[in-house]
Amino acid sequence: MRDNTTVNSIEAALMQRFGEEFKIDSGLQGLDALKRIAGHRSQRRFLPRPLEGGVLRLLCACALSAPSKSDLQQCDIVIVNDSAIRKGIAATIPDMPWIEDAPAFLVFVGNGQRLPAVSGLRDKPFPNDHLDAFFNATVDAAIVLATFVCAATAVGLGCCPISAIRDRPDVISELLRLPKRCVPVAGLCVGWPAQEGEITPRLPLQTTLIENAYGERDLAVEIDAYDRRRSALRPYQRQRNVERWGASPLYGWSEDKARQYAEPTRGDFGRFVRAKGFCLD
């Protein structure tokens, strides 16, 4: 029998997300999981309720069960439960008070230290000290982060990734006492949601879903259509840097992101990564 409620929820979420109609086979396995994924919402407001019963450790274990490049296992998760350390992190990002408000805060670390250490322990050379070593560690951390979000959502928790910890990676590294070849990839606020949250419309699949190879396309038309659809569904509440750029009559995703990246940011991140011992050649 068709599970109308679950199927309809997925179809409605994907319509809001991509502006595209999906017809889903009600006999497909895993519809409950797909419903959670399709309806993902970032959470920035949390109930003052702790995470009981070892649930955080359980979710970390599930996240670290994620695929890992060549089984190298180059991600660590730092659970920040020291209030002074959390305040120090939050002080670098004053416009994100949910870092302190969330019941739990984690930092996902790309660990490129263990592999060369293991090579030394086994008296083997380590000739692969180049950009790919950094890339592998950060991708592992990103996969673990995404898996954690899926696991947390499955038990009813809400999450908000914090890439802004890379604005001051030197401070984060010092606070967490990160060893050489270990870099903070992202933070994550975790807790019981205080509100339902909203689905964020994404770029249409015709823009981001490629079959076989890239071809000619009219990106300007695709972006304009997306801006208008997103503005109708979830308009921005404020415009960035109106003093410099003025007020835009149609302030869509493209205008927001163009303004965001018109300001220099993280220009010294490469220096930080090199100082941590990674070779980026």
Hey, what domains does the chain have and what are their CATH numbers? 4-38 (no CATH), 55-197 (3.40.109.10), 199-281 (no CATH)
Report field, pTM of the whole predicted structure over 0.75: yes
What confidence tens digit (pLDDT) does each residue in 249-262 have? 999 999 999 999 99
Backbone phi, psi, residue 67, to 5°: -55, 145
* pLDDT at residue 1 is higher than 50: no
CA distance to 50, 76, 264, per residue, from 62 (Å): 19, 13, 37
SS3 81: coil
What confidence tens digit (pLDDT) does each residue in 20-36 have? 999 999 999 999 999 99
Q: What CA–CA distance (Å, rounded) separates 273 from 281? A: 12
Mean pLDDT within 171-191: 98
Triad 80, 142, 47: Cα angle to 5°: 45
SS3 26: coil
- What pLDDT is stored for residue 53 in this prediction? 79
